[in-house]
Structure 1
Amino acid sequence: MIKNYLKIAWRYLHKNKIFSFVNITGLTLGFFCSILLALYVIDELRFDTFHEDAARTYRIIQKIEEVDGETRKVATVAPLVGPEAVAQFPEAETYLRLIEIGRLTVGNEPQNRDYERIWIADSNFFQFFDYKALYGNPTEALSRPDNIVITESTAKKYFGRTDVVGENLYTNVFQATVSAVIEDFPDNSHLTINTIHAVPTWEREIGQWKEWVSSNWTSNSFVTYLKMRPDFDKKAFEGKLTSLVTENYGEEVNYQSNFSLQPLTDIHLYSSEIQGGMNSREGNPLYTYMFIIIAVLLLAIACFNYMNLSTAAASRRTREVGMRKTLGAQKWQLIGQFVGEALLVSTCSLLLALFAIELLLPQLNVYLNKSLSLPFDNIQMYTVLGIIVLIAGISSAIYPAFFLSRVEPATALKKEIKIGVNTFSLRKILVVAQFAISIVMISTTIIIYNQLQYVEQKDLGFNLNNLLVIDINSGALRSQFESIKQEFEKLSDIETVTVSSRVPGEWKNFPIANLEHRGSDAKSQAIFVGVDEDFLDTYNIELLEGRALRNDVADSNSVMLTEMAVRQLGLEDPIGQVLDVPSTVWSGDLNEQDTPYSPRVVGVIKNFHFQSFREEMRPMMLASYRNPIHSIDYYTLRASNANWQNILPLLQEINSRFDPENPMEYTFLGNRFDQFYEEDRIRGQLFMVFSMIIVLIACLGLFALASFAIEYRIQEIGIRKVLGASAFEVNWLLSKDFAVLIGIAFILAVPVAWYAAQSWLQEFVYRITIPIWVFPAAGLTALFIALATISYQTLRAAWMNPVKSLGRE
């Protein structure tokens, strides 16, 4: 019997090619997008869940309230916080501390060296987290001096193989021995580490290390994790932890702290407002939840469209049903036939969607920077997909199947029966919902595009084009920087070269100077950057008043201020004014460092953005590179053209001439600023694609409704044609009802679209005002697409010979 049902279903689908194509296309698109979005969302929500004790593992977060009322959250705490929490509170089972203290040149031979970040971890790292060791004993891997744990990709990078336990890696500080090789950190880990150093190594290299970590309550440098006992009182523990730390603060601490526990599995999505923490990549819960909603809506719209099409098509099958009932078919057999056809279409659509996903996933993973895959070995996937097929098939077939199975054979054989035709049917509600969603998506996509265009085109206060930044990573480069700079300047394609302690778009922490105006109570904080005399010319920063810095020793105490710094200090005549810089604090840290420094203002420059447009512009102080606070760390080169392919080998040759042991590390500054918005750009493009697909699926549903409505009114159309109605009048008669539905959808969509876009824009300090024209444009776009979709059906009905339409029952 089932074989017979399938045979009948296949014949029907083959006979009605257009309806079959529309049905399968709509469902395939719905399945494809929903499954793809589900894979993306599941990957986002499953960060760090592969650890066995993930549910009871937490990262300590410190919330700081400064004396000026400013608050910030950091993921670094003092070295004693973890050990003392475990020692004094039974709720805490164990702790783990990580600290990054810079970079080393690492390699197994002089010709094969690169820079690696220095991560130092407690010896229980591999007992605390479940990262898999390929070679070596992870229990003892971090217990001895000079031990280093590396990932498999790092092993291949330097040795060409992975079984390298016992091999030596040379650094510019000490010789390390590989004690273990571990698998690369998974893509869904908030940590991404290539090399892990043992604490005993740095106890030897840094003489005061032991004393520092065993007595310090204020140096907030360690990312600290706690593994808690099940069912502990989180709020009560956070209160006790706060009391423990603040009671041990010394008099030098001029801020208030509150401590909280962040679940390990929340780190990826909920760390955008937290400084530090070693997060390899940060997610955005707003996007994640929006993608969940879109996935559900896409699947629902696809299924409802299928139901619309099936219902419209079922009206044409009343005679077939009447004939089968006359020949003895039972009600359950007729229902089984309709459901079987629907399940066949659903299954075919699902298989096509899975095939397309498997085919496109490699390219999509590169584009999304993900490692998504279909878990074919997971029985849960088959269960969920099976349920989806059943729901899609049964929901689309059950209504017309039950309706037709109740029709008397005599009635069915006499004429076609119109199913579900009422003034405000479910199908019309669904069309309104679909196009409301379409208008929301179109509007949001336009706003996202406009915001990204805004941040790309907004004046940064300096010229970003053709700038290359080279790191000064060694003493050899730093001590000879003037000679190296002269060599760079000799290259014909290089216009200007400057050195500085930090650069715009800074990826390292940077000093923030506490400024005081001598002779008044005015105070301010400013980002502190040491520069040479060519900094303004290289970055094309406008000098508004006074002069630029000079490289001679006499200018060692000179500084330039941005307009914002001048305004905050209340300097009416800034040139020649003397400032005091009693202390500085580094971004990501909390402890002020005494830096007695009294510079004189020699120039005022135009404000410029040091970070992305998600960050508020801050006052800046540009000091001579001879300043006592921060020495130079970078060259910045401006090229006369973008011919970097030819320039880079020349720069590398100069670098290796002065420092043969260390490779040249460089960054294109434009790329750095692009990275600030890369995730938004990708997600914005995804929104555009899904908007188009939702509109397409909505149009398929509208196609079904138009077909259904025209079928119902075919005789009315014939009468109007006989009475002299033109094709245009008939077309408008059939189209105006759909235009009304789009109008209702527009009214419902505008407030939702405005709220969604406004919520996203809040992430940017500098953002566009939502233009009013976006919403009418989105509505008119949806209306045009809708009318274009139904015009095929309406014009065909308008041009039909009245004799044919009046002769139909």
Structure 2
Amino acid sequence: MKLKFTLRVLNRNKLFTFLNIAGLALGMAGGILVFQLVKYHLSVDTYHKNADRIYRAVVDLHLGDGQIERSKGSAYILHSTLKKEYPAIEQTSYLAHRPLTIAVTDKRSVRKYLEKESAAFTNADYFRIFDFTWEIGTPAVLDEPNKVVLTERYAEKFFGIQNPIGKSMKLENQQEVVVAGIIKDYPANTDFKTDIFVSLPTIKTLMPNYGYEDWGWIESSRETFVMLRSKDQKESFEKQMPAFSKKYHGADSEVFKYHLQNLSDIHFNVDYGGTIKKSTINLLLVIGVLMVIIACINFINLSTALSFKRYKEVGVRKTLGSSQGQIFWQFISETAVVAVFSIVLAVVLASVAAPMLSQWLKTPLSITLLSDFKLIGFLVLLLITIVFIAGFYPAMVIANFNPLKALKNITELPKRFTLRKGLVVTQFSIACILIAVSLLVVLQLNYLKNKDLGLRKDMILHVNIPNPEVDKLTTFKNQLLQQANIENVSFFRTAPSSKTGSGGSIKYENRDWEKFVARSKMADEAYIDTYGIKLVAGRKPVASDTLRELMVNEKMVKNLGLKSPEEILNKKLLVGDLSKTGTIVGVVADFNNTDLYTGVEPTVIMSARALYRYAAIQLKGYNPNTVQDIAKIWEQLYPDNVFEYTYFKDDVARFYEREELISNLTKTFAALAVFISCLGLFGLATFSIKQRTKEIGIRKVLGASVFSITALLSKDFLQLVLISILIAAPIAYYFMAAWLKDFAYRVSIEWWIFAATGIVAVIIALLTISYQAIKAALANPVKSLKTE
């Protein structure tokens, strides 16, 4: 009976019921999506049964100039040495990622694949540290040479439905490996997305010149993982690391500081290549809570406003014997019904939005109620919380009506309306903060993508080079330069601005090792012309296969304490990266080696043909036929490999994927917050205008214009929006300044950002209110005066 009465009441006030359900549903949908996002990130790699004992051995390089460089990579020799010397370690593993060209032969053809990120070399202990389900084989095969283990999806990719065990694959067109094991596909919530595991002994065949015994040879793509016998041993183990560094690094032990990074920290620590900051997770949580709060404010405002329409009903019910508690629980049950409808709609909306948001944010995101018990628990908790928060105050207001005043239609409107004004201000303040912050994030992201790096980004194509043989490189370059749309060609190991790179100590002339580290760019003599890097002194190096002559940037000159670029010319420089000395023949203008989190660094540009991995091809203009022409030339020279290309501009843009994520999040939820706020504002404007119907009629009879009435009805709400802007500005400024601290290059927080936020908020509020205001102003005054 109570449910039937509740549904009848909701049906009688269709507009307000719709606005309540829509507002709550949108807020809940935002909360559900945030919950799923946060749940995913917090669950990454937590499924390993020994997760609390698993660590990555990382090294911090403490440089003489006070800087600290943090590397997730480590020397090859570290994993075996740690296991041999420390009984506290149960297992150690080395994981070395490397792009591989893989050839699979069947009866009809040879199929080639270029696997850039899915292939790695590792040993058996990797599968004793991390949890994988073996379908065929055992981890021991990875301690044998020329073996490979595949995930199920890659086994199917390479061999179809046939049994792949015993089948051979050729790596880099030179080394055959045999499939010796199949493991189940890894779950979505992992950062270790490897599908091709090549046995560790095989790496020495493919890379015979790598510094396997060199403690200083550290690359970010080569990681060491450790599993301790007990998590309590971490502290005592790390206390032994200084002595370990002293033993193997000698005089450089003050530079190399080892420690263990918890598995739970890997996903969140961006200093060591993490995916997302903990601060971003906290931001997500705040946004999710704000979405629900905004929705609850909507409900409270609309419910308390609507309660005055039921003043007499409550008076009659109290006169007929209904207690305050009965009326209270009746209105709580109405809130519960609205909340149930809202949460069902919220789940539908979240399910529709999840795939699109997942693609946009590049994060696995889905709504699966039947199997996701955490989500079910969250929905139940969310429902209870919303019924309590959103329903308690309106129910108390209604239950406390004085029956005599109610029957005489005497209301306490001014007091209640003051509270609703405060809630509207709170709601729009949140929306304005999100608008301002999202605007700044977009500005910063555009600034990062378009800032002058001191080099050319446009019209440069990067093509992989499988084999840097001098004859092939010469032929490739000569044939490319014959193409009408190609301006220049250079061969290199890393681009001028790159996420990967190398560096090391340097010795200038007869001085001691410098206290700072110099970045190394192994490239040929055409490098600076191709990338448009300005030569400020001297000349370009003479073409050479190995280090003889080199160039440095202006930052290097400054760090060496020299007064002018000319002063450094024709001086000797020992480059620690290659342990070779060259003559400095040129100085180039500063350019950024990596993303814009860091500033310009001292840089050396030098020849090292054996290390070249890519060709940079400067185009005169974008033409799809040019890529096809390049591919034909490339395939003639490297028929056993897979052609691949990227545009340099796109490579640089990928530096800022984290900022892209934050930008997309803030824009999405700012729009949602504004829309929910507008629903509430629309409902309140509708109610307020209905309350003043007679007043509007009288004003029209006395000669008031449509414009003046519309302005009168809009004024109160616009005042609230303006107050919201004033409150939001300092709070938004605080969050903006905190976020920008991480960037070496950043936009300024200009006054116009807040002005633009205010203008947007006012325009949105005006559009929301104006429909009802104009409709009321245009109404027939005779009908208005008849309104009871």
The residue identity in structure 2 corresponding to 1:501 is: R
Are 1:315 and 1:419, in contact at CA under 8 Å, matched by a contact in 2? Answer: no
Are 2:267 and 2:276, in contact at CA under 8 Å, matched by a contact in 1? Answer: yes
Distance 1:643 1:141 in 2: 48
Matched, 1:59 2:26: no
Distance 2:120 2:649 in 1: 28
Distance 1:404 1:761, change over 3 A: closer
**Where do 5+ consecutive residues of structure 2 fail to align?**
none
1:297 to 268, 271, 290: 290
1:44 to 30, 38, 41: 41
In the TM superposition, what whole-angstrom CA distance separates every residue of 1:348-372 from its partner, at most 9, and x where no partner exists? 2221221122223223222222221
Distance 1:721 1:657, change over 3 A: closer
Distance 1:576 1:564, change over 3 A: closer
The 5-angstrom pairing of residues 498-577 of structure 1 reads 498-512=490-504, 514-517=506-509, 525-551=517-543, 557-569=548-560, 570=562, 572=564, 574=566, 577=569
Q: 1:127 is paired with a residue of what secondary structure?
A: helix
The residue identity in structure 2 corresponding to 1:47 is: V
In the TM superposition, what whole-angstrom CA distance separates every residue of 1:129-160 from its partner, at most 9, and x where no partner exists? 11233x31334342322221122332233212
Distance 1:521 1:52 in 2: 46
Distance 1:795 1:660, change over 3 A: closer
Matched, 1:97 2:80: no
In the TM superposition, what whole-angstrom CA distance separates every residue of 1:403-435 from its partner, at most 9, and x where no partner exists? 4345465654443x5466417843222222212
Are 1:107 and 1:113, in contact at CA under 8 Å, matched by a contact in 2? Answer: yes
Question: What is residue 668 of structure 2 aligned with on the other side?
Answer: 689
Distance 1:432 1:560, change over 3 A: same
Matched, 1:375 2:368: yes
Question: What is residue 389 of structure 1 aligned with on the other side?
Answer: 383
Distance 1:637 1:258, change over 3 A: closer
The structural deviation recorded for 1:513 is 6.2
Distance 1:323 1:424, change over 3 A: closer
Distance 2:456 2:218 in 1: 36
Distance 1:506 1:153, change over 3 A: farther
Are 1:33 and 1:298, in contact at CA under 8 Å, matched by a contact in 2? Answer: yes
Question: What is residue 495 of structure 1 aligned with on the other side?
Answer: 487
The structural deviation recorded for 1:802 is 6.9
In the TM superposition, what whole-angstrom CA distance separates every residue of 1:287-306 from its partner, at most 9, and x where no partner exists? 22111101101111101211
Q: 1:68 is paired with a residue of what secondary structure?
A: coil
In the TM superposition, what whole-angstrom CA distance separates every residue of 1:559-600 from its partner, at most 9, and x where no partner exists? 333333333341536288323232323xxxxxxx522x2314
The 5-angstrom pairing of residues 273-292 of structure 1 reads 273-274=271-272, 282-292=275-285
2:5 to 8, 30, 41: 8
Distance 1:420 1:46, change over 3 A: farther
Question: What is residue 765 of structure 2 aligned with on the other side?
Answer: 786
In the TM superposition, what whole-angstrom CA distance separates every residue of 1:16-59 from its partner, at most 9, and x where no partner exists? 23212211221121111111111111111211112122233222
Q: 2:466 is paired with a residue of what secondary structure?
A: coil
Distance 1:437 1:407 in 2: 32
In the TM superposition, what whole-angstrom CA distance separates every residue of 1:192-220 from its partner, at most 9, and x where no partner exists? 212212234447778899x967xx76655
Distance 1:205 1:543, change over 3 A: closer
In the TM superposition, what whole-angstrom CA distance separates every residue of 1:631-676 from its partner, at most 9, and x where no partner exists? 43321112222123x2333322222222221222322211101111
The structural deviation recorded for 1:400 is 3.5
Distance 1:102 1:780, change over 3 A: closer
Question: What is residue 755 of structure 1 aligned with on the other side?
Answer: 734
User: Does 298-307 or 255-264 show the bigger shift?
Assistant: 255-264
Distance 1:453 1:266, change over 3 A: same
Matched, 1:599 2:596: no
Distance 1:56 1:577 in 2: 53
Distance 1:76 1:296 in 2: 38
Are 1:217 and 1:245, in contact at CA under 8 Å, matched by a contact in 2? Answer: no
Distance 1:380 1:520 in 2: 60
Distance 2:660 2:512 in 1: 47
The structural deviation recorded for 1:803 is 7.1
Q: CA RMSD in A?
A: 3.5
The structural deviation recorded for 1:684 is 0.9
Are 2:740 and 2:746, in contact at CA under 8 Å, matched by a contact in 1? Answer: yes
TM-score, normalised with respect to structure 2? 0.89
1:610 to 573, 578, 593: 593
Matched, 1:264 2:263: yes
Q: 1:249 is paired with a residue of what secondary structure?
A: helix
Aligned length: 778
User: Does 43-52 or 571-580 show the bigger shift?
Assistant: 571-580
Q: 2:96 is paired with a residue of what secondary structure?
A: strand
In the TM superposition, what whole-angstrom CA distance separates every residue of 1:377-410 from its partner, at most 9, and x where no partner exists? 2334223212322332344334343443454656
In the TM superposition, what whole-angstrom CA distance separates every residue of 1:573-632 from its partner, at most 9, and x where no partner exists? 6288323232323xxxxxxx522x23141x333322232222322233333567xxx643
Are 1:496 and 1:637, in contact at CA under 8 Å, matched by a contact in 2? Answer: yes
Q: 1:390 is paired with a residue of what secondary structure?
A: helix
The residue identity in structure 1 corresponding to 2:183 is: I
Distance 1:331 1:52, change over 3 A: same
In the TM superposition, what whole-angstrom CA distance separates every residue of 1:259-314 from its partner, at most 9, and x where no partner exists? 333221221111x222xxxx5x6112222211110110111110121121111112
Q: 2:576 is paired with a residue of what secondary structure?
A: strand
1:633 to 604, 607, 613: 613
Question: What is residue 186 of structure 1 aligned with on the other side?
Answer: 187
2:439 to 446, 453, 465: 446
Question: What is residue 578 of structure 1 aligned with on the other side?
Answer: 570
Question: What is residue 589 of structure 1 aligned with on the other side?
Answer: none
Matched, 1:74 2:53: no
The structural deviation recorded for 1:464 is 1.6
The residue identity in structure 2 corresponding to 1:98 is: Y
The residue identity in structure 2 corresponding to 1:96 is: T
The structural deviation recorded for 1:751 is 1.9
Are 2:104 and 2:168, in contact at CA under 8 Å, matched by a contact in 1? Answer: yes
Distance 1:727 1:306, change over 3 A: same
The structural deviation recorded for 1:724 is 6.8
In the TM superposition, what whole-angstrom CA distance separates every residue of 1:235-280 from its partner, at most 9, and x where no partner exists? 4442x2323413413435263343333221221111x222xxxx5x
Distance 1:548 1:218 in 2: 30
The residue identity in structure 2 corresponding to 1:241 is: Q
The structural deviation recorded for 1:728 is 5.1
Question: What is residue 588 of structure 1 aligned with on the other side?
Answer: none
The structural deviation recorded for 1:719 is 6.9
Are 1:493 and 1:639, in contact at CA under 8 Å, matched by a contact in 2? Answer: yes
Distance 2:386 2:470 in 1: 67
Distance 2:746 2:397 in 1: 54
Question: What is residue 152 of structure 1 aligned with on the other side?
Answer: 152
Are 1:218 and 1:249, in contact at CA under 8 Å, matched by a contact in 2? Answer: no
Percentage of identical aligned residues: 30
The structural deviation recorded for 1:738 is 3.4
**Where do 5+ consecutive residues of structure 1 fail to align?**
586-592
Distance 1:510 1:26, change over 3 A: same
Q: 2:641 is paired with a residue of what secondary structure?
A: coil
Question: What is residue 648 of structure 2 aligned with on the other side?
Answer: 669
Distance 1:559 1:400, change over 3 A: closer
In the TM superposition, what whole-angstrom CA distance separates every residue of 1:545-567 from its partner, at most 9, and x where no partner exists? 443344379x9733333333333
Matched, 1:355 2:353: no
Q: 2:643 is paired with a residue of what secondary structure?
A: coil
The residue identity in structure 2 corresponding to 1:175 is: E
In the TM superposition, what whole-angstrom CA distance separates every residue of 1:426-477 from its partner, at most 9, and x where no partner exists? 32222222122122111111211211222222222222222111122225x5
